[in-house]
Amino acid sequence: MQDSKAPADNSEFNRLWWHSRRGMLELDVLLIPFLEEVYQELDTEDQDRYEKLLTCEDTDMFEWFMQRSRPDDADLQGIVDIILARVQPD
């Protein structure tokens, strides 16, 4: 079975794609599809927030996405909310 592939023509997107692969399945199934399907349509500020999210620890992100805790940083909470809204629409 072949994994999803990042477009080969965009080195910045490729870099983000590889940083979105976390090695924790629960995060990979949220972050990779979000990057591939939503990221490029985000405004610049939200794209920056996504990149900031990728600098966080996997254990912290897991807690945030499982809604067991919230990031102290409002920017991080904003992008977490965007990602959660995509997988948990009202």
Domains, the chain, ordered by start:
24-87 (1.10.150.250)
Residues with Cβ within 8 Å of residue 37, at least 6 apart in sequence: none
- Which pTM does this prediction carry? 0.85
Residues 6+ away with beta carbon under 8 Å from 67: 84
Round to whole Å and give the CA distance between 63 and 76: 13
For 19-73, the pLDDT digits (tens) are 999 989 999 999 999 999 999 999 999 999 999 999 999 999 999 999 999 999 9
The pLDDT assigned to 90 comes to: 61
